[in-house]
Amino acid sequence: MAETLAELFSATRTQSVKLCRHLTTEDFGLQGAAFASPPKWHLAHTSWFFETFLLKPHLPDYPEWNPAFESLFNSYYNGVGEPFPRHQRGLLSRPSLDEVLEYRQHVDSHMQALLQDESHPQHRQVLQRCRLGIEHERQHQELFFTDLKFSLSLNPLLPGAFPALPATTGSHAPPELSWQHFDGGVVDVGYSGEDFAFDNESPRHPAYLQPFELASRLVSNSEYQAFIDDGGYRNPELWLADGWATVEDLQWRAPLYWLDRAREGEVYSLHGVIPRHPDAPVCHLSAYEADAYARWACARLPTEQEWEHAAAPEPVACPGMDDDIYHPLPARGQQRPLEQLYDSCWQWTRSAYTPYPGFSPPSGAIGEYNGKFMSNQWVLRGGSCVSNAGQLRASYRNFFYPADRWQFSGLRLARDA
Amino acid sequence: MAETLAELFSATRTQSVKLCRHLTTEDFGLQGAAFASPPKWHLAHTSWFFETFLLKPHLPDYPEWNPAFESLFNSYYNGVGEPFPRHQRGLLSRPSLDEVLEYRQHVDSHMQALLQDESHPQHRQVLQRCRLGIEHERQHQELFFTDLKFSLSLNPLLPGAFPALPATTGSHAPPELSWQHFDGGVVDVGYSGEDFAFDNESPRHPAYLQPFELASRLVSNSEYQAFIDDGGYRNPELWLADGWATVEDLQWRAPLYWLDRAREGEVYSLHGVIPRHPDAPVCHLSAYEADAYARWACARLPTEQEWEHAAAPEPVACPGMDDDIYHPLPARGQQRPLEQLYDSCWQWTRSAYTPYPGFSPPSGAIGEYNGKFMSNQWVLRGGSCVSNAGQLRASYRNFFYPADRWQFSGLRLARDA
Amino acid sequence: MAETLAELFSATRTQSVKLCRHLTTEDFGLQGAAFASPPKWHLAHTSWFFETFLLKPHLPDYPEWNPAFESLFNSYYNGVGEPFPRHQRGLLSRPSLDEVLEYRQHVDSHMQALLQDESHPQHRQVLQRCRLGIEHERQHQELFFTDLKFSLSLNPLLPGAFPALPATTGSHAPPELSWQHFDGGVVDVGYSGEDFAFDNESPRHPAYLQPFELASRLVSNSEYQAFIDDGGYRNPELWLADGWATVEDLQWRAPLYWLDRAREGEVYSLHGVIPRHPDAPVCHLSAYEADAYARWACARLPTEQEWEHAAAPEPVACPGMDDDIYHPLPARGQQRPLEQLYDSCWQWTRSAYTPYPGFSPPSGAIGEYNGKFMSNQWVLRGGSCVSNAGQLRASYRNFFYPADRWQFSGLRLARDA
Amino acid sequence: MAETLAELFSATRTQSVKLCRHLTTEDFGLQGAAFASPPKWHLAHTSWFFETFLLKPHLPDYPEWNPAFESLFNSYYNGVGEPFPRHQRGLLSRPSLDEVLEYRQHVDSHMQALLQDESHPQHRQVLQRCRLGIEHERQHQELFFTDLKFSLSLNPLLPGAFPALPATTGSHAPPELSWQHFDGGVVDVGYSGEDFAFDNESPRHPAYLQPFELASRLVSNSEYQAFIDDGGYRNPELWLADGWATVEDLQWRAPLYWLDRAREGEVYSLHGVIPRHPDAPVCHLSAYEADAYARWACARLPTEQEWEHAAAPEPVACPGMDDDIYHPLPARGQQRPLEQLYDSCWQWTRSAYTPYPGFSPPSGAIGEYNGKFMSNQWVLRGGSCVSNAGQLRASYRNFFYPADRWQFSGLRLARDA
């Protein structure tokens, strides 16, 4: 396994840099909001993770690159010290991009040395921790896309960061929406395999589900347009109280990135401004919008247990970020009971992000990875067109605040059977 | 049942006014924060509820008291129109207290006429809706206490609103904390009786619980002091991320209302400043503080399903607000497996306030009562020394934001078995 | 002089209470914004002034009413200690109005004793300081009106605090506006008499003025309406940069208190909602609005030196608050070169409130009275219908922030000759 | 004059780019606060000025570089349209630095064509307007330094943007402070020459001054340290009310950029962290701090009329930004009655920035250059070590808000004679 892991490490590290190949040097420093970190920061922070949790504690005589980086590229691990303020990450013109790339090389070469040392007394723990670092970097690869998209969208030039999509993309006829039935009862949820999973997916445990139905595909742009046309954003009765307050406060009238400059609807994408395909899944919704749409459609959001139970038998195979298409496409004709589980948009559930029964995080700063966020956030399930497909699975719990819209977040309806 | 309901109506209405008997006229207009409504507003709003949801739709030729009140005393029912801004309720010096009391009389006499009319075509619905209005007013009776306490606490004179407590109060020896075991499995939760319950307690449904243990009593002031003394408010590892951000932002160092002006700890109460009894339950905690304490104590908060399952066999009998003691007292010697369920402080659970499977609110503005708040809030269970004991039961779901501290909110520990 | 001063003291103190005779008890606690203090607070603070600056330092064995009042009713004198936060003055339901009135009596009787004691070693200084306290209270009498008006205006019932105006009020034909010429040159400004004046009016000193012209009367409502109709509030070229930012931020579209609910323009006044008289002076303008109007009218605001030089020969005689008319009326036919100098609205100048050459405040906390506000505020000159006419004079310097609108502030045009 | 102006244009444009030669590409996008624009933005905006006010109106068939730039690089000219939000200038990773440099070339070549065309019907006006554009760019050269310094200072690495200062810098013995006497009387202030001056320096006009004295040099670091050591930042009696509120709100304890990490005082400079020279003038003070220090020193700030009257006979000769030393140095031995007038730090006056008698701005958007800022700002006089010395003169009025500290702003004391 050690050899394979070193390869996976190397491939993941290389991929992170390759994803940036179309950026200008100035793009690397861009931070459009506190939550949207600059590309350069992602490149540095993912290296910091290996340095902090592997090289410093486990590699004897490891030469630290720069002591100031300990704080500068710490995201939120209070156990490591006071992190540099999140909203100021865009102000770090120094270290330069070149130095950050050198820092990555420095970390990579020492990591390879550590991984190769099978005689290391904590060799097994090193491998496990390294795998966590790889999965961590894969998560930041997705954040690289979502953060960059948000930051560039604030530029009135609306620049595309990636080459234009091929013209033929998404010309398939859209499938009808069908409802899949599930009997419920006592079912098991949570990760149970031998491969990697995050701590928050454990322990696997029984849950009781009522009979329910799940939509075969995601809600589309044209369906969401009908909600808007019906006054969905002006009718408080459709909204949770906090959602309505947000709609009024932020003057939401459509999903994030929808543009209505011309007669035909457009949308801002990582490939620039493109027409809004009516059959493509609606994307960049807050949980409040997803919930309001569901209420308007006489349905509801699924719980995360329902979603996982329904999705577990389905295959994960999807390109994710690997096909260089960073925008959700219309569903092809239906081939499986549940389509678009992993390849288009994350799907909001109505479940608050709380610990599973018996959950306990590891001790030390690494325990801050997942556990401390278990308040006020909602669970999303599935995956998206900018996910690293290698880390998706039915039990994966993604989580964001219900007002967050900058992720590739969409909506699959559920209803009581 | 009609006769009894009219009596209950009358008794509840009378009680609301009687609770205010110690206030000065100027106290009636006091609003210490957006969330802490003035006593006069509570008196008016509870009348507005009957006027809006019973008299206007159901009593022919009902003479509206003042059309401006429709907006002025609407709390949050968008279906009724735009409410007067919540944070400005303290600015309504007019209508005067006298006029509000006349308004109450006006509503009361017409309500009695409506309730007595057994030939009314919607008589049954009128009775049901009236019962909801009574329970609504009982909730506002508790809010009257908590809001007034908060507002008065901002006055450096720290005035007591109610007569001093008898000196002998709370001189009992405190019981040891013991852990009660529960086997879990598939259990039913939610209201199942024939009497009144709120819509959010339904439908009753099965849930799967792991084996767990629940503390026999609430966490006490002296136990919480040990947490503080151990640096509990300075150690981010004990806190949820949002909780720690709140601690830093608001500079929390102790529960709300703790005073440390002299060597001996004191606490502000509705009876004025009093010594902090070490054996009394710690009160006015946010969910974040409750959660951090539990982590420090190697325990956790219960889920609302665990709490309800454990409490269901226990009797509710408690004085609540009826004994004119508006401050939580030390537990008496243990007589039941679970003490202090209803009579001292509400107990934070780790459960987010979400809909039960199959829940659907009634249509129309009345449907806004509970359902639209099902995001970002946490469930508390039990009751408090300022509750109207007549409305407490094991299935009752109280809910507040996790940062809220002005309710009588305390903490009962749980742990995995 | 001592006897007269004691009488003036007594008359002023009595008058402050008498001005409140139409209020409800609940009105006394009303604070609509941080800058709009409650009536009860004004009654207490003016007493605090005498207690702090006269009784405590000068009356042997003076029995302090309540030590907590030292902070509670301190407005801004850091030399006396930390004042109670300004924005929370409306939260002081205790002490009650009755107690505040008793506090006034207590202060008054001891003040009389102090004033009568001609053998007091600092008798002369006591008299001078007492006179300052009287003038201070007169200023608060005006603030009582302006603060109350603002606070009541936030109530959707728009209650009048005082009896309705007589129907015949303001039926005079308005005079034409004429321009009065002044030659300028080296002129003296500042107070030069033997009577009382505030420290900021001194020393009298020469200033050089260019030839200028001053409008014979104030700008009227109908003139200001023409500015609005011409898009005055939508054209940034008319505004100072900070003014335009304020217009956009606060969405100003008309002077404060203008109501446009019906076809005919109305205005909220201390006498309730009344029609907006086209010939009455426009009132409740910010300096930014006054400045923008002047630019639109191809004129400018006067400097405070110009205003004082022009007004010095004119008599002050005006009723101010004494006629129970608390709203500016149309000008009568022109009888003097400059009308409406003191009796309608304060007049914004373009002068920043800065120290006169050679100005130095007295030492100690009393030195904080005027001097420390000499930044960012603008000078207004004249007086208003809610001023205590006894304290008006040509050299009086009133000052507020340029965005402030809740004073009775209007506009007299000037232009270069 | 045309030939000379074209040369001055060319030299100024070249200089702006040359000033950036030490920056990294990533530094060009840095914006540390709304007021601190990125270097790239300065380079673009100064070009926009020539394009907007010269090329578009006056050069026939001028090919606009990019229509989006009209809004993107508009600073505050409402007459030109809605500017791109100021606080988001750092988010413009596109256009790239290379494109902005091309844009500059495009503007420069067309400007040269326009300047050479002596037959242009508005040739004289073109030259005048071009001169304004040059002076505008010189102002932005100084802002380039001050903005960059602020933005880099937020980076914990505290990077120097320019080469280290020579070690011998500032080793001169400091001169004693002496007081220069001026008789006052009626004096003329404002620009009166034939060369360029900004509109706000006109018209020249008489003013009456009392006799006064002016300090021969600026207040030094060691003198300011004594103020701090005496509790200057903790004593509200020394401060204007708005100043004290700012001190408390922002927790000021020293001038901006003072570092007290080690025993010896250091300061952040554009050359990196350097020791704080006790004899160098204290710099980066707000007007509030300057005013408080003056009060503590039993002196006061000069008025702008006093400063100009005193400085008028003195020569301007100073290197400004031309000597590559971007930090104020200790005064040399006194050679002139008034030292450090232009070469170290701007000097706060107590004068509000208001129009001179008879001032009127030009019509159109260009009239927004100076006039609309005449509220709430204070005048500074002199010049600094990062000024373009070519634009300094005794009548030059610099202006900033009294709380601003990121300019090279210091303090020269005055007192009544």
Three-state secondary structure string covering C229-265:
HCCHHHCHHHCCHHHHHHHHHHCCCCCCCEECCCCCC
Tell me the C-alpha distance between C12 and C4, whole Å.
12
pLDDT, one tens digit per residue, over A296-306 is: 999 999 999 99
Decide if C32 touches B, using CB distance below 8 A. yes
For chains B and C, CB pairs below 8 A equal 78
To test the contact with chain C by mutation, choose from B23, B93, B149 the residue with the greatest count of C C-beta atoms within 10 A, namely: B93
- Please say whether the beta carbons of C221 and C280 come within 8 A: yes
- Which residue, B73, B80, B101, is CA-closest to B14? B101
Provide the pLDDT confidence category of residue C118 given band limits of 50, 70 and 90: very high
Residue of chain C with shortest Cα separation from B151: C91
* Gap from B400 CA to chain C (nearest CA, Å): 24
Structure confidence at residue A57 (pLDDT): 97
Instruction: Judge whether residue B332 has pLDDT over 80.
Output: no
D72 to A29: CB separation less than 8 angstroms, yes or no: no
D32 to A91: CB separation less than 8 angstroms, yes or no: yes
D93 to A68: CB separation less than 8 angstroms, yes or no: no
Mean pLDDT score, C199-215: 97
D94 to A30: CB separation less than 8 angstroms, yes or no: no
Tell me the C-alpha distance between C358 and B154, whole Å.
44
Structure confidence at residue C1 (pLDDT): 37
DSSP state of D210: -
Residue of chain D with shortest Cα separation from C415: D358
Which chains sit next to B, with 3 or more Cβ pairs under 8 A? Answer: A, C
C157 to B95: CB separation less than 8 angstroms, yes or no: yes
Mean pLDDT score, B196-213: 97
Q: Which residues on chain B are in Cβ contact (under 8 Å) with A207?
A: 208
D375 to C242: CB separation less than 8 angstroms, yes or no: yes
pLDDT, one tens digit per residue, over D265-295 is: 999 999 999 999 999 999 999 999 999 999 9
DSSP state of C87: G
Contacts of B210 (CB under 8 A, 6+ apart): A205, A357, A358, B184, B416, B417
* Gap from C380 CA to chain D (nearest CA, Å): 15
Burial annotation D170-179 (CB, 10 A radius, 16+ → b, else e): beeebbebee
Tell me the C-alpha distance between A404 and A384, whole Å.
16
Structure confidence at residue C342 (pLDDT): 97
A373 to B240: CB separation less than 8 angstroms, yes or no: yes
Query: What's the token pair of residue B56?
Result: 């206007």
Burial annotation A370-393 (CB, 10 A radius, 16+ → b, else e): bbbbbbbbbbbbbbbbbbbbbbbb
Structure confidence at residue C361 (pLDDT): 87
- Please say whether the beta carbons of A330 and A221 come within 8 A: no
Instruction: Judge whether residue C2 has pLDDT over 80.
Output: no
Q: Which residues on chain C are in Cβ contact (under 8 Å) with D241?
A: 76, 372-373, 375
- The rounded percent of chain D whose pLDDT value lies above 70 is 97
ipTM, two decimals: 0.95
To test the contact with chain C by mutation, choose from B94, B147, B153, B261 the residue with the greatest count of C C-beta atoms within 10 A, namely: B94
Tell me the C-alpha distance between A341 and A387, whole Å.
12
Structure confidence at residue B225 (pLDDT): 96
B376 to A243: CB separation less than 8 angstroms, yes or no: no
Structure confidence at residue C262 (pLDDT): 64
* Gap from D114 CA to chain A (nearest CA, Å): 29
CB-CB: which of A76, A208, A355 is closest to B207? A208
Query: What's the token pair of residue A262?
Result: 């011309």
- Which residue, B142, B273, B147, B294, is CA-closest to B213? B294
Mean pLDDT of chain B: 94
CB-CB: which of D30, D71, D94 is closest to A93? D30
Instruction: Judge whether residue B26 has pLDDT over 80.
Output: yes
Residue of chain B with shortest Cα separation from C92: B155
D206 to C208: CB separation less than 8 angstroms, yes or no: yes
Residue with tokens 């009971």: A337
SS3 label, residue B199: helix
User: What's the CA angle centered on C61, arms C58 and C65, to 5 degrees?
Assistant: 95
Decide if B125 touches A, using CB distance below 8 A. no
Provide the pLDDT confidence category of residue D169 given band limits of 50, 70 and 90: low
* Gap from A211 CA to chain D (nearest CA, Å): 49
To test the contact with chain D by mutation, choose from A40, A43, A91 the residue with the greatest count of D C-beta atoms within 10 A, namely: A91
Contacts of A404 (CB under 8 A, 6+ apart): A35, A286, A287
**Positive or negative torsion for Cα A137, A143, A149, A155:** negative
Query: What's the token pair of residue D216?
Result: 């021969």
Q: Cβ of A5: how many Cβ atoms within 10 Å?
A: 16
Decide if D109 touches C, using CB distance below 8 A. no
Dihedral angle of Cα B153, B158, B164, B166, to the nearest 10 degrees: 80
Instruction: Judge whether residue B171 has pLDDT over 60.
Output: no
Residue with tokens 């701590």: A199
Residue of chain A with shortest Cα separation from B363: A237
CB-CB: which of B93, B152, B157 is closest to C24? B93
Query: What's the token pair of residue C177?
Result: 């506006």
Mean pLDDT score, D343-363: 95
Decide if C357 touches D, using CB distance below 8 A. yes
Residue with tokens 């009498």: C141
Burial annotation A120-139 (CB, 10 A radius, 16+ → b, else e): beeeeebbebbbbbbbbbbb
For chains C and D, CB pairs below 8 A equal 87
Decide if A240 touches B, using CB distance below 8 A. yes
Mean pLDDT score, D144-170: 91
Residue with tokens 């506009």: C411
- Mean pLDDT by runs of 10 across the 417 residues of chain A is 79 98 97 98 98 97 97 93 95 97 98 96 96 98 98 97 79 77 97 94 97 97 96 96 97 95 84 95 98 97 98 93 94 86 97 95 87 94 97 98 98 97
Instruction: Judge whether residue B168 has pLDDT over 90.
Output: no
Q: Which residues on chain C are in Cβ contact (under 8 Å) with B158?
A: none
Query: What's the token pair of residue B133?
Result: 């209005």
Mean pLDDT score, C210-224: 97
Q: Where are the alpha helices (DSSP H) in C26-96?
A: 39-50, 56-58, 69-72
pLDDT, one tens digit per residue, over D98-114 is: 999 999 999 999 999 99
- Please say whether the beta carbons of D375 and D265 come within 8 A: no
Q: Are strands C212-215 and C414-416 parallel, antiparallel or unpaired?
A: antiparallel
A24 to D96: CB separation less than 8 angstroms, yes or no: yes
End-to-end Cα separation, chain A, in angstroms: 45
Tell me the C-alpha distance between B204 and B189, whole Å.
5
Instruction: Judge whether residue B241 has pLDDT over 50.
Output: yes
DSSP state of B256: T
D372 to C239: CB separation less than 8 angstroms, yes or no: yes
Decide if D97 touches C, using CB distance below 8 A. no
Instruction: Judge whether residue D186 has pLDDT over 80.
Output: yes
Query: What's the token pair of residue A266?
Result: 């457009």
Structure confidence at residue B173 (pLDDT): 61
D376 to C376: CB separation less than 8 angstroms, yes or no: yes
Q: Are strands A409-410 and A346-352 parallel, antiparallel or unpaired?
A: parallel
More confident residue, D256 or A362: D256
Structure confidence at residue A349 (pLDDT): 98
A239, B222, B235, B296 from B229: Cα distances, Å: 44, 10, 12, 12
Instruction: Judge whether residue D1 has pLDDT over 60.
Output: no
- Which residue, B10, B77, B83, B89, is CA-closest to B42? B89
Burial zone of A353 (CB within 10 Å; 0-12 exposed, 13-18 middle, 19+ buried) = buried
- Please say whether the beta carbons of D200 and D351 come within 8 A: no
Q: Report the length, in residues, of chain B.
A: 417
Q: Report the length, in residues, of chain C.
A: 417
What is the CA D345 to chain-centroid distance, rounded? 9
To test the contact with chain D by mutation, choose from C78, C208, C369, C401 the residue with the greatest count of D C-beta atoms within 10 A, namely: C208
DSSP state of A181: E
D72 to A156: CB separation less than 8 angstroms, yes or no: yes
Tell me the C-alpha distance between B350 and B377, whole Å.
10
Structure confidence at residue B35 (pLDDT): 97
CB-CB: which of D78, D240, D355 is closest to C237? D78
Provide the pLDDT confidence category of residue B331 given band limits of 50, 70 and 90: confident
pLDDT, one tens digit per residue, over D321-350 is: 999 999 999 987 778 999 999 999 999 999
Provide the pLDDT confidence category of residue C253 given band limits of 50, 70 and 90: very high
End-to-end Cα separation, chain C, in angstroms: 45
D94 to A26: CB separation less than 8 angstroms, yes or no: yes
Q: Which residues on chain B are in Cβ contact (under 8 Å) with C91?
A: 30, 32, 151, 154-155
A352 to B352: CB separation less than 8 angstroms, yes or no: yes
Tell me the C-alpha distance between C301 and C218, whole Å.
12
Tell me the C-alpha distance between B119 and D292, whole Å.
81
B208 to A210: CB separation less than 8 angstroms, yes or no: no
What is the CA A26 to chain-centroid distance, rounded? 24
Question: Touch between chain B and chain A (3+ CB pairs, < 8 Å)?
Answer: yes
- The rounded percent of chain C whose pLDDT value lies above 70 is 97
Peptide bond into C203 cis (omega under 30): yes
To test the contact with chain C by mutation, choose from B26, B30, B84, B101 the residue with the greatest count of C C-beta atoms within 10 A, namely: B26
D78 to C352: CB separation less than 8 angstroms, yes or no: no
Which chains sit next to D, with 3 or more Cβ pairs under 8 A? Answer: A, C
Structure confidence at residue B327 (pLDDT): 97
Structure confidence at residue C263 (pLDDT): 61
Decide if A154 touches D, using CB distance below 8 A. yes
Instruction: Judge whether residue B1 has pLDDT over 50.
Output: no
Beta bridge partners of residue C36, listed in sequence order: C33
Q: Which residues on chain C are in Cβ contact (under 8 Å) with D374?
A: 240
